[in-house]
Chains A and B, each alone.
With several copies, the nearest count.
Chain A
Amino acid sequence: MSGLEPDKPIEASCDPMQASPPLPASGFNTRAIDLGRIECLQILDEHGDIEEGLQPDIEDNELLRVHRAMLLSRAFDSRMLAMQRQGQMGTFAPNLGQEACMIGQVWPLGDEDWFSPSYRAFGAQIWRGWSMERLMTLWAGYHDGFPPPDDVKDLPFSIVIGSHVLPATGIAMAMRRAKDPHCMVVNFGDGAFSQGAITEAMNFAAVDQAPIVFVCENNGWAISTPLDKQAGNEVLAARGAGYGVHSIRVDGNDILAMMTAMKEACDRARRGEGPTLIEAITFRMSLHTTADDPTVYRDESLVEPWHNRCPIRRFELWLTRTNRLTTQDCDRIREECEQEVLDARAYFRKNATAKPREIFDHIYDTITPELESQRMDYLRRLDRKGVE
């Protein structure tokens, strides 16, 4: 307690009539603040034509690797749908039509870079080194499929929508502290972007100048919710700008644009120039998941125009026109991919094993006494039921 007299108020340190001229320069700038522009990048249009002067300097074998990855993603996609329909798979989230987005965003990443995917990103996971049988194991409900392979710097995909973006940001913050010259790419959907946690992540990343690229795959839908019910401003990239995150919009169905924009953003991050938000415009052509029936809530006519915008189609038009591939090559690769997926399925079928006895094994580094006693009870149940 200070020794003030009871009835004397504390002096207001800003007494209105006491302050004396000369006044300092105005503390308030009345000039309107220009918020700038969101650049919108498309390189390869729906006709398979390249925008004058924009052709990126990417080696042919890289282009072909990427093309193959997109086909593989699609082969995996339709096979998984079939398996799910046949009762061999759990609920599955297809990626049809988003392959450019998916593969383009991981293309610039090396083994020492990190990737944190949403749940619809299997194509990118395969690119990053997840075997398809591991992904099948995962979607079929086996725990073994979930951890990233030992040599892959990925987070497992996020089931709780948006919840992975903060951890991904934390990794980038740790990278900056460790002077690790690599970067983190995290992706999420237009629906996910409604989660406040993602704006917190953008703000943390911007304040910290962390080496991270936020990729919002704006595919127009979050289950049954179209973008105009999801967002008050449909330019989602504008949110990044609001938080001081360098932001651009990219045609997410244009693989060349995706590769170019991602490369630039990753390099920025690696150079220590802070985070980027890329809003990739694409479309969820298929089901939300196999538990979903879009005919209940959306008109087929909305899907229609996207057939011609198909990222694979567009890329192949260009690849063939520029003689990098023939249509025969394309067919052959498609078949090879199909075979790869079938091989993975065979492996998966043979090897996936439920391990009910292991469900207590990964909670703590060393199991606690109370958990050990619960484990014993549980094992007794398995014994009684004759479960291995």
Chain B
Amino acid sequence: MPKCTMVEALNLALDEALGNDQQVCLMGQDIGVNGGVFRVTKDLQTKYGADRVMDTPLAECGIIGTAVGMAIYGMKPIAEIQFSGFTMQAFDQIEQNMARYRNRTQGRFNIDMVMRAPYGGGIRAVEHHSESREAYWVHTPGLKVVIPSGPRNARALLAASIADPGPVIFYEPKAIYRAFREDVPDSPETMELGKANIAQSGDDITIISYGAMMRPAREAVEDLTELHSINAELIDLLTISPIDTETLLQSVTKTGRCIIVHEGHQTCGVGAEIAARLAEGGAFEYLVAPLKRLTAPDIPHPYFQVEQHFLPDPDDIIGAARELMEWT
């Protein structure tokens, strides 16, 4: 398989799922003839027909609500919300039905579906098109939340999310939809949900991130080694709910220092949860420096002329790491 962008890798995973399981179907705005506004579903309607790759009316609540019904009936819908900012329109159906139906019916009705949406900033878009509100779903009982960081794990994680018997929120970091290519194996690949990936081992400090922020994090980790002789361990969460606490604890009990980097807002964000788990769990006694979060501040993603300085960058990470290394 030639090198793929994330968009191509996701298209591949969807194609494989549609091909392997008659119950899988896709639904969303403009995903059919148009192949999705980011072309993630390109050509799939031609291949699988309009009843399995369905253009829906412009109503997100309607999309998720009917997808829940389809899942109850036994289909496996993969619903696309055109931008994650518009999941707010479907919040009620996500929280009240998608996340809770299984529990409500004591497992009689499993909601085996995936809600996909591009999320995050960095594409010079208008307001409401750059949201990173995965924490809403992480705080919502009954859901799993998955966020890939590159083409290869995007395909494998999407496959795993589709295979998971319950409802999964799959957020795609659109800033890196086409930012780089990766080799993707010829045969279908999957990954276990709930497992973080140690992207780089190190002893001095743990850096935890996910999604598009893995790019500045990687850059920072390289510079830290090369320029500052700091060996950082870089962890890519991949599954944001449930969090692979075990892997995080192991790393931080080893390094004693930790920085959490994400695009979402700070207060009650994913970084807060990770910090709390470290500070109350087995890692507390190993901590030699305060924990540090580098996140979007608690303001709406700014208009695109000024968004380029909004999110943490490699220098922020390097600065924070150096500070923590010097902390006594």
Task: Give A contacts to B, CB under 8 Å.
Answer: 90-91, 140-144, 146-148, 150, 155-156, 159-175, 177-178, 191-192, 194-197, 200-201, 203-204, 207, 222-225, 229-231, 291-292, 296-297, 352, 354-356, 359-365, 368-371, 374-375, 377-378, 381-382, 384-385, 387
| A residues in contact with B125, CB < 8 Å | 90-91
Counting chain B residues whose Cβ lies within 8 A of the other chain, the interface size class is 35 or more
Q: How far is the CB of B101 from chain A (nearest CB, A)?
A: 8
Sample of 20 further A-B pairs with CB below 8 A, known A170-B65, A200-B61, A291-B37: A91-B126, A141-B303, A142-B305, A143-B302, A143-B306, A147-B108, A148-B105, A150-B108, A160-B92, A170-B67, A197-B61, A197-B89, A197-B92, A204-B66, A224-B33, A224-B55, A229-B57, A364-B142, A365-B165, A382-B309
| B residues in contact with A363, CB < 8 Å | 102-103, 141-142, 299-300
| B residues in contact with A369, CB < 8 Å | 194, 242, 245-246
Question: Are A297 and B37 interface neighbours, CB within 8 A?
Answer: no
1/0 contact string of B200-236 vs chain A (CB within 8 Å): 0000000000000000000000000000000000000
Q: How far is the CB of A136 from chain B (nearest CB, A)?
A: 12
Question: Are B93 and A174 interface neighbours, CB within 8 A?
Answer: no
Determine whether B188 belongs to the interface, using a CB cutoff of 8 Å to chain A.
Answer: no
| A residues in contact with B128, CB < 8 Å | 159-160
Determine whether B122 belongs to the interface, using a CB cutoff of 8 Å to chain A.
Answer: no
List, sorted by A's number, 18 A–B pairs whose CB atoms are closer than 8 Å.
A90-B124, A146-B127, A164-B97, A167-B68, A169-B66, A170-B72, A194-B62, A201-B65, A204-B59, A204-B62, A222-B58, A225-B58, A359-B306, A369-B242, A370-B245, A370-B267, A374-B297, A385-B309
Residue of B nearest to A382 (CB): B309
How distant is the Cα of A230 from the Cα of B77 in the complex, in angstroms? 20
- The 8 residue pairs across chains A and B that have the minimum distance between CB atoms: A170-B69, A166-B65, A170-B66, A224-B34, A174-B73, A200-B62, A141-B304, A167-B69
Q: How far is the CB of B102 from chain A (nearest CB, A)?
A: 6
Task: Give B contacts to A, CB under 8 Å.
Answer: 25, 29-30, 32-35, 37, 51-52, 55-59, 61-62, 64-75, 77, 85-86, 88-89, 92-93, 96-97, 101-110, 124-129, 141-142, 144, 164-166, 194, 242-243, 245-246, 266-267, 297-300, 302-306, 309-310, 313, 315-316
Q: How far is the CB of A83 from chain B (nearest CB, A)?
A: 14
Q: How far is the CB of A363 from chain B (nearest CB, A)?
A: 5
Question: Are B305 and A141 interface neighbours, CB within 8 A?
Answer: yes
Question: Are A171 and B69 interface neighbours, CB within 8 A?
Answer: yes
| B residues in contact with A387, CB < 8 Å | 309
CB within 8 Å for A231 and B69 given contacts A160-B86, A360-B299, A368-B194: no
| B residues in contact with A381, CB < 8 Å | 309, 313, 315-316
| A residues in contact with B33, CB < 8 Å | 224, 296-297
Question: Are B58 and A359 interface neighbours, CB within 8 A?
Answer: no
How distant is the Cα of A203 from the Cα of B108 in the complex, in angstroms? 28
How distant is the Cα of A359 from the Cα of B308 in the complex, in angstroms? 12
